[in-house]
Amino acid sequence: MAVTTTPVDDGAIDGFSEGLHGELLRPGDPNYDETRAIWNGMIDRRPALILRAMGVSDVIAAVNFARDHDVVLAVRGGGHNIAGNAVCDDGLMLDLSVMRSVRVDPTERTARVEAGATLADVDHETQAFGLATPFGINSTTGVAGLTLGGGFGWLTRRYGMTVDNLRSVDIVTADGELRHASETENADLFWGIRGGGGNFGVVTSFEFDLHEVGPEILSGPIVYAGEDARDVIRHVRDFNEDAPEEAAVWIVLRKAPPLPFLPEDVHGVGVVLVVTFYAGDMAEGAAVLAPLREYGDPIADAVGPHQYAAFQQAFDPLLTEGSRNYWKSHNFSELSDDAIDTAVEYAADLPSPLSEIFFAQLGGAMARVPSDATAYPHRDAEYAMNVHTRWEDPAMDDECIAWSRAFFDAMAPHATGGVYANFISEATGEEDLAYGRNGDRLAEVKAEYDPENLFRLNQNVEPAR
């Protein structure tokens, strides 16, 4: 086995390790390979050092060490980042996954969340009080990466994006200082982290606003045959135009997975899933969603009462770690007939049974926030698309990536020109599309807090010069 070495001398590393509370791993140590592995199986990088941080002091020590010795620094929260920026070759990987406490204040309706926590960790604690904040749709996702990129999910139309519900953070910046950032303290830094990714430091904890949600909500998929996809998607699009903000209806094009509510004879066959969610009174939700459930001739209808935390985990079996993943993204102000036709055409030729195309319905509360109020700029998007290409065999890499890029290009004429930063797989200029009109201000904030670009393993913003 090849051993990766660091240009830093052993004496400096020994001095670094002496002041740590967490575990410092090197190639060949027990748990090294397990710790460097992240969700996307395409990523296989070998850090010279991995620090499993136990607290803020470890984070400060790691930032100071990387800066003082010019060592590449990668920061891992939940390890779900599609681009693999949580791990590096040769440098220092700062692993925050042990730091995952969640403290709920049910009176103030807030939660203080450490940077290694997953969505499941937060849901478990907040739902004990019938509370939640808008997150994503896969419970193993890390809170940190999701939030810093913007964050959207089933609750976004009613309560806004994840960053819209962020009250404050504690963050270690490139100078090794722990800062508190909020609307009233280090406000420019707080603006930047709400959509600007990990460009400005290592967030060690997040404070979120919470809302009454569940614990039981009305949700679930309605599944139609693939040959009905064009008509079904048009019907959903028309329904969504006038739907209340409590409703969120997403569209998924894929091969039918072996879910228990689907007949065996459709497993592996092309389908369209209309995934419904209603964040409000169950009876009102039933009435609102009725036009969807009464439409056409579905293969299955699994809409019904579900525990909110359980529904947040419903798609986890389709998103387990270790598979190979390559994603592309577009935002849309509308789903035109041509856009729908193009998506259905490409869905008929998915490169693997695990791949899918989904359109997440946005708008609502998210759209009422001005585009320059936070670093996340795409407040005009009514839908976000994820070209979610996923496969197992490395021999399929070229085929799957080529399909993704071709579909991305084919959908571009129908899109807004914006993309979601958390869905970017590689540095191909899409950072500019992610940050849009807020790019110049982000560069100025970057220059103030990280002028040497220590935090560059991300959807990177170059410091203004």
187-210 pLDDT, tens digit per residue, is 999 999 999 999 999 999 999 999
pLDDT for residue 89 is more than 60: yes
User: Could you tell me the domains of the chain?
Assistant: 10-95 (3.30.43.10), 102-212+438-449 (3.30.465.10), 216-423 (3.40.462.20)
What local confidence, expressed as pLDDT, does residue 426 receive? 84
Cα 54 from Cα 115, distance rounded (Å): 11
Q: Does pTM surpass 0.75? A: yes
pLDDT band with cut points at 50, 70 and 90 for residue 460: very high
Cα 359 from Cα 353, distance rounded (Å): 18
pLDDT digits (tens, 9 = 90+) for 29-48: 999 999 999 999 999 999 99
Picking from 2-11, 80-89, 246-255, 408-417, which range would have the lowest pLDDT averaged per residue? 2-11
Question: Whats the size of the chain, residue-wise?
Answer: 465
What local confidence, expressed as pLDDT, does residue 116 receive? 97
Cα 18 from Cα 86, distance rounded (Å): 24
Q: Is 64 left (phi over 0), alpha (psi -120 to 50) or beta?
A: alpha
CB contact at 8 A, 266 and 299: yes
CB contact at 8 A, 199 and 458: yes
CB contact at 8 A, 205 and 172: no
What local confidence, expressed as pLDDT, does residue 11 receive? 83
Nearest to 16 by CA among 59, 56, 62: 62
Q: What is the mean pLDDT of residues 342-365?
A: 97
User: Is the preceding omega at residue 215 within 30 degrees of 0, hence cis?
Assistant: yes
What local confidence, expressed as pLDDT, does residue 4 receive? 42
Cα 43 from Cα 324, distance rounded (Å): 8
pLDDT for residue 49 is more than 90: yes
What local confidence, expressed as pLDDT, does residue 7 receive? 65
Nearest to 84 by CA among 324, 316, 317, 320: 324
CB contact at 8 A, 119 and 135: yes
CB contact at 8 A, 324 and 392: yes
What local confidence, expressed as pLDDT, does residue 2 receive? 40
What local confidence, expressed as pLDDT, does residue 8 receive? 77
H-assigned helices in 279-390? 282-293, 308-311, 337-347
